[in-house]
Amino acid sequence: MIECEKKINENNVCFKCINDDFLKEYIKSNAGSNRCDYCKVMNHSCIAMPINEFIKEIIRCLKNRYVKGNAYADKGDPDYYSTLLVTKDIVDNEIKPVGTQLSDDLCNLIGAGFWVDKYGNVNSPDEQDEIKWEIYSKKIKCNLSKKEKNKILNEALAPICQYIISSGLLETVDVGSRFYRARTNEPNITFISHMQLGPPPEDKVKYPNRFTKAGESAFYGSTDDVTPIIEVHDKAPYGITVSVFETTIPLTVINFYKFAKDCKQVRSLFEDDFYIKKFLEYFVINIVAPADEKDSTSYIPTQEAVQFFKKDLQEKYGILINGLIYPSSKNVRHTANCILFFNNFDCTDDEKNEQKPLKLLMKETVNYPPDYWTEALKEKQHITFSFNTNKIKPEL
């Protein structure tokens, strides 16, 4: 076995023998040989690196996500048994080597046995706990002192804010951009004013929402005219009124809708910011998931996260966040919802009203009778919207 391992350690592996894109780049960056001992390719330039050095990076990344699970396998622990993996599973699914020989060599160098995915098991503690959504979500719901709460928020969310900036999730919304709101009609009442169709006054906000607490007013809307109707039409026996609001100032938003689209790509364990991206994936999942009506604390993790994003991005980076764009949970056409941090006082339907700090101007309303959208929704298939692509990237 020792002789076999010694022989393996003398081999060089090239980037063409690995299918994980991030490991390909790692080999290219550390290549010191022009010959691969696995595919037997020779090149004028360096294309391969020693496998014993390559395996160090692999094991470092594996330990970030996996822990040895031999003890759980021996005990038949039901909490872990369904998530146990053997080394070959990890090699084939994470590293994706080309050829049986390379796969076998990697398995030998990593070592046989069982592994447990730490991210998938909240009872498996590790150094990345603070940026696991499950851990953060569980802790932030507890009755905490201000110091304890701030510690949890900083550990979990400060790296997320840095990633939001560096990854281009901040976008500028141009003046004149349109956002849409829908309100279910009431018997014998016609809704026509921004007071009725814009964000409710704070004293009328009796219940918490995904991003705001009871008593906090904000503009919840959509980036197209169909999505808000889909959100409410099944609870609209008297019809729906849709209002159109235009921005009168440039806005800066965090575009989680864009991140959600990127989430559909296969994540690599070896890519940068793996845990941060996983945290945000779970954040987006919780944004669009139905709230647990039996759990009065179900909105707390997303509420606290959004408040931290606003505060941290302004205090550390000087960026005033005006809102979020995020996927609609009810629209199969994959359009987006938004929250803009404007209350009723920030909206008007009179652009000549100089007494109000104008931010959102209600331009028009459309009143739809009951059942109008039941068939019409099936016909309106293609919805398009776009944002200005200017990215805000302050120095970190």
pLDDT tier, 81 (very low <50, low <70, confident <90, very high otherwise):
very low
pLDDT tier, 123 (very low <50, low <70, confident <90, very high otherwise):
very low
pLDDT at 183 over 60: yes
Mean predicted confidence (pLDDT) in 42-49 = 94
Give the per-residue pLDDT at 337.
Answer: 92
Residue 388 CA, chain-centre distance (Å), reads: 20
pLDDT at 117 over 60: yes
Sheet with 66-68, strands from edge to edge, namely 66-68, 114-117, 84-86
pLDDT at 177 over 90: yes
Separation CA 291–CA 286 (nearest Å): 8
pLDDT tier, 8 (very low <50, low <70, confident <90, very high otherwise):
confident
In percent, the amount of the chain with pLDDT more than 70 equals 80
pLDDT at 6 over 70: no
Name which of 25-34, 64-73, 248-257 the model is least confident about: 64-73
Is residue 325 within 8 Å of residue 253, measured between CB atoms?
yes
78 burial level (CB within 10 Å; 0-12, 13-18, 19+): exposed
Separation CA 235–CA 228 (nearest Å): 12
Q: What are phi and psi of 147, to 5 degrees?
A: -65, -45
Mapping DSSP to helix (H, G, I), strand (E, B) and coil, where does residue 354 land? coil
pLDDT tier, 224 (very low <50, low <70, confident <90, very high otherwise):
confident
Rg (CA), the chain: 26
Q: What is the pLDDT of residues 317-350, one digit of tens each?
A: 999 999 999 988 776 556 789 999 999 889 888 7
Mean predicted confidence (pLDDT) in 357-364 = 83
pLDDT tier, 385 (very low <50, low <70, confident <90, very high otherwise):
very low
pLDDT at 118 over 80: no
Give the per-residue pLDDT at 381.
Answer: 45
Mean predicted confidence (pLDDT) in 57-71 = 78
- SS3 annotation, 72-106: HHHHCCHHHHCCEEEHHHHHHHHHCECCHHHHHHH
Choice between 235 and 125, residue whose per-residue pLDDT is larger: 235
Mean predicted confidence (pLDDT) in 236-263 = 89
Separation CA 253–CA 338 (nearest Å): 9
In the chain the first and final C-alpha atoms are separated, in Å, by: 49
Specify which of 252-256, 274-278, 283-287 reaches the highest per-range mean pLDDT.
Answer: 252-256
Strands 347-348 and 360-368: parallel
Q: What is the pTM of this model?
A: 0.76
Domains and their CATH numbers in the chain: 2-117 (no CATH), 170-379 (3.90.175)
